[in-house]
Structure 1
Amino acid sequence: MKLVEMMRSVMLSVSHNKFRVFLTSLGIIIGTFTIIMVVGISKASEEAVTQQYKRLSVESITISKARGGGRRNASTISKDLTKEDALKMPELLTNVKSVGISTRTTSDIAYGSTSESVSIQGVNEAYAEITNLSTLSGAFFGDEDGLARNRVVVLGYNLANLLFEGNIESAVGQKVLLKGTTFTVVGVLDRIGGSGGMSSGGGGMSSSTSADEMAFIPYEVALKYTSGKRAATSTYIAMANDIDSVKPAIDEIKQYIGEITGNSESYNVVDAGSTLSSAQETSRTMSALLIAVAVIVLVVSGIGIMNVLMVAVKERTREIGILKSIGAARKIILLEFLFEALFISLFGGILGVLLSVLAPWVLSFTDIKYSASIDGIVLGLGFSVVTGVFFGYYPAAKASKLKPIEALNYD
């Protein structure tokens, strides 16, 4: 039997059972669509993580309070690392050249009739330098503003755009209200995108908070007007002398923290590169778990394909007997049913790919980011084809092993 005739036979069988084929391929459609979605969301997530950390220099080291204060023994009482302790590091540690400090709270910010709830980040000048915050208009405040308790604020790009209705240039010099206190806008940040290495928890990393939506005020001013001295949780970012000094700087900082607090593990000390790798690994792990779920869907669909082909073999037993009696080889029968399984899985895979075209539109109504990927399409189609061939082989092999006499006598 020629390949063209074999394909014609497959198409004839499929056309006689259109609805059954469609129902069988539904699982393939959903599984393929899910894999493409997961890969797209995973890619967008990794891009967001990279974007989030790209503003941090490779020499930067984050220092944040460990959950539970780190491991302690009965003779150890751990205290907090104070601002004064942290700011002494460049003087006392040979591999640290500067230390940034930050604290965060949430507050309403208002200008005229426009009001918005935003993250307020209290930072010092070194923090802005280490995280590479640059202004589009105006200038970033200095440490002297904090010491003088000047009520000044630097707005993120999107926040300024919202408060001043797109007229960002007019923001500098205007007065805004933070927790009922008047602040003067002294600068507007250049647009960053992602989260720019900012923290939703006081200086560490978070993909949920973007510097574009935040307001920055001097650290001392934040303690007085927004965070409060007792409620404030401070996080620090240290800058090593150079890339080769990062590891020695981490060791020095941990030793220093141990001497100050009595417990070197009371604070997490991690360089930016390690934090980025950890965040990306977490993202990849979640993606792998979701892809595993999609593969399970495809396996269930494959069982459906096997079931449909088993029924097809039963229905076409006499036809198989006729083909064998006129000299059709076992290989021909095997390939015919395998092609049918391949068609069903490929048909479902292609529909799943076409359905994924709607993904950006559907996800535009949510906060989930999606990035189209050829890898996702190839992976989705690949799994669908492998599923069809794997689960179609047994019914095809069974059909090819039928004896002509028994097949012709089948009722």
Structure 2
Amino acid sequence: MSLIEILRAVFMNIQGNKTKVFLTTLGIIVGALTIVVVISIGNGSQASVEEQFKSLNVGTLQIMANFGARSTERLTSELAEKIRVEAPSIKNISMILASRGDVSYSTTSASASIGGVAEDLKTINNLELAYGEFITAEQNEDAERVAVIGSDIAQELFGDEIRDAIGARITIFGRRYEVTGILKRMGDSSMGGISPDSAVFVPYKVAEKYIVGRFARPSIIALAKDINHVESAIEEINLVLQEVYRNRSDQFRIVDAGNRLQSAKNSARTMTLMLLAVAVVVLVVGGIGIMNVLFVSVKERTKEIGILKAIGARKKDILLMFLLEAIIISAVGGVLGILGSILAMPVMNYFQVRAIPTTFAYLLAFGFSVGIGTFFGYYPASRAAALKPIDALNYE
């Protein structure tokens, strides 16, 4: 039999069993659609994570007291300077004091994180200003009562016209501070327990004097020279901590911003793989459906197989006929599933589920569909090809 004759027989059989074929294809359609949707949502989740952390330098390290630590030891500016000098893998270093309180302007107030910072923090944490300027070294040295506010706080206190906040005076713990800068929205870039969007930054000396007091526990923010120096920077910082605090150095911990980002991406990736496994199970179920249909088809067409063999059809012709039928059914199901996933994207966007489809997702869905159809279609096809002409012709 020629390939054209085999294909003609395949399409005639499919056309004669439209309902059965469609129901069989449903499993493949759902499986392919699920694969594309799951991978797209996974891509969207990872992109969201990267955007949330994009304001963080991946080489940022945060040194802070362990949760629940009872030690009276605290990080100091002298320690920060010692790390700067003795840790060659460190590019920049700064300190931050964290607190919370109400910030008010006119008759409006908002709860905010309050951070006492130095001018270096802007570079270390990639802080970008929408308006105004960041805290300067002179303002810190002179303990000037100035403030840089996050985008959310600016919105709460000043409404849509946040530009008007520059030069305004806000009140923190009963004292007035002049707003000199407004940060751009940064997303999830927590530093020292402070999220910039909902924070107010004041000079470090001002926070130490008026807001948190001299006995507060500050954190140290350090920036490695590059991502390749992160591990050596951690080792060098640990050596300095051990030198200064000796057996009390375990009262402090070092948090790697790059690891935070990687952990968040790994979590999103793990969830994607779990959902992808569900999609593969759906496809396998669809493949089993194809196998069952082909088994029924072989029984129904046993005499036809016998006649074809009697007039000269070879074993491989019969095998190819049934195998092509399985491949075509699964391929059509894969294509329909991909088209369905494309239609599903606007629906997910409507429900604010971020999904980023890729060519890889489409190819994977189609490849899995055809692969499943081929795998589960081979056995019934081989059974059909193995039938003896005399037995097939005598089958009732």
TM-score for both structures, normalised by structure 1: 0.77
The correspondence for 2:288, drawn from 303, 321, 336, is 303
Give 3-state SS (helix, strand or coil) of 1:216's partner: strand
Provide structure 1 residue ranges, at least 5 long, that are not aligned to the other structure.
70-76, 204-208
Q: Mean alpha-carbon deviation: is it higher for 297-306 or for 254-263?
A: 254-263
The correspondence for 1:152, drawn from 140, 147, 151, is 147
**Alignment deviations for residues 110-143 of structure 1 (CA, whole Å, 9 cap, x no partner):** 87899888x6362513322201212121112346
Give 3-state SS (helix, strand or coil) of 1:100's partner: strand
Task: Say if 2:198 is the partner of 1:214.
Answer: yes
Give the Cα–Cα distance (whole angstroms) in 2 for the partners of residues 295 and 277 of structure 1.
26
**Alignment deviations for residues 331-370 of structure 1 (CA, whole Å, 9 cap, x no partner):** 1111111111112211221122112213432332445422
How does 1:81-160 map onto structure 2 within 5 Å?
81-82=74-75, 84=77, 87-90=80-83, 93-95=86-88, 96=90, 98-102=92-96, 120=113, 122-125=115-118, 126-142=120-136, 144=139, 148=143, 150=145, 152-156=147-151, 160=154
Q: Mean alpha-carbon deviation: is it higher for 333-342 or for 366-375?
A: 366-375
1:42 corresponds to? 42
TM-aligned CA distance change 1:388 to 1:282, over 3 Å: same
8 Å contact 1:39–1:376 — kept in the other structure? yes
Aligned length: 391
Q: Specify which structure has the higher proportion of helix.
A: 2
8 Å contact 2:148–2:183 — kept in the other structure? no
1:13 corresponds to? 13
8 Å contact 2:103–2:172 — kept in the other structure? yes
Q: Which amino acid aligns with 2:270?
A: T
TM-aligned CA distance change 1:299 to 1:61, over 3 Å: same
Give 3-state SS (helix, strand or coil) of 1:364's partner: helix
1:74 corresponds to? none
Give 3-state SS (helix, strand or coil) of 1:251's partner: helix
Give the Cα–Cα distance (whole angstroms) in 2 for the partners of residues 109 and 160 of structure 1.
10
Task: Say if 2:346 is the partner of 1:361.
Answer: yes
Q: How far off its partner does 1:218 sit?
A: 2.5
8 Å contact 2:44–2:355 — kept in the other structure? yes
How does 1:7-406 map onto structure 2 within 5 Å?
7-57=7-57, 59-64=59-64, 81-82=74-75, 84=77, 87-90=80-83, 93-95=86-88, 96=90, 98-102=92-96, 120=113, 122-125=115-118, 126-142=120-136, 144=139, 148=143, 150=145, 152-156=147-151, 160=154, 166-174=160-168, 185-190=179-184, 195=188, 198-199=189-190, 202=193, 213-218=197-202, 235-240=219-224, 246-258=230-242, 259-260=244-245, 262-269=247-254, 271-406=256-391
TM-aligned CA distance change 1:244 to 1:346, over 3 Å: closer
Give the Cα–Cα distance (whole angstroms) in 2 for the partners of residues 27 and 113 of structure 1.
61
TM-aligned CA distance change 1:403 to 1:253, over 3 Å: same
**Alignment deviations for residues 251-308 of structure 1 (CA, whole Å, 9 cap, x no partner):** 1211333443835455443555555445444443333333222222211221121112
8 Å contact 1:80–1:261 — kept in the other structure? no
Instruction: Report the RMSD for the aligned CA atoms in angstroms.
Output: 4.0
TM-aligned CA distance change 1:163 to 1:93, over 3 Å: same
Q: Which amino acid aligns with 1:128?
A: K
Give the Cα–Cα distance (whole angstroms) in 1 for the partners of residues 136 and 293 of structure 2.
73
Provide structure 2 residue ranges, at least 5 long, that are not aligned to the other structure.
none
Q: Which amino acid aligns with 2:337?
A: G
Give the Cα–Cα distance (whole angstroms) in 2 for the partners of residues 365 and 390 of structure 1.
38
TM-aligned CA distance change 1:253 to 1:176, over 3 Å: same
Percent of aligned positions with the same letter in both sequences?
A: 41
Give the Cα–Cα distance (whole angstroms) in 2 for the partners of residues 392 and 214 of structure 1.
59
Give 3-state SS (helix, strand or coil) of 1:358's partner: helix
Give the Cα–Cα distance (whole angstroms) in 2 for the partners of residues 180 and 358 of structure 1.
56
Give the Cα–Cα distance (whole angstroms) in 1 for the partners of residues 299 and 210 of structure 2.
80
Give the Cα–Cα distance (whole angstroms) in 2 for the partners of residues 354 and 109 of structure 1.
52
2:4 corresponds to? 4
Give the Cα–Cα distance (whole angstroms) in 2 for the partners of residues 200 and 30 of structure 1.
44
8 Å contact 1:254–1:265 — kept in the other structure? no
8 Å contact 2:84–2:93 — kept in the other structure? no
Over alpha carbons, which structure has the higher Rg?
2
TM-aligned CA distance change 1:308 to 1:273, over 3 Å: same
Give the Cα–Cα distance (whole angstroms) in 2 for the partners of residues 130 and 171 of structure 1.
25
TM-score for both structures, normalised by structure 2: 0.80
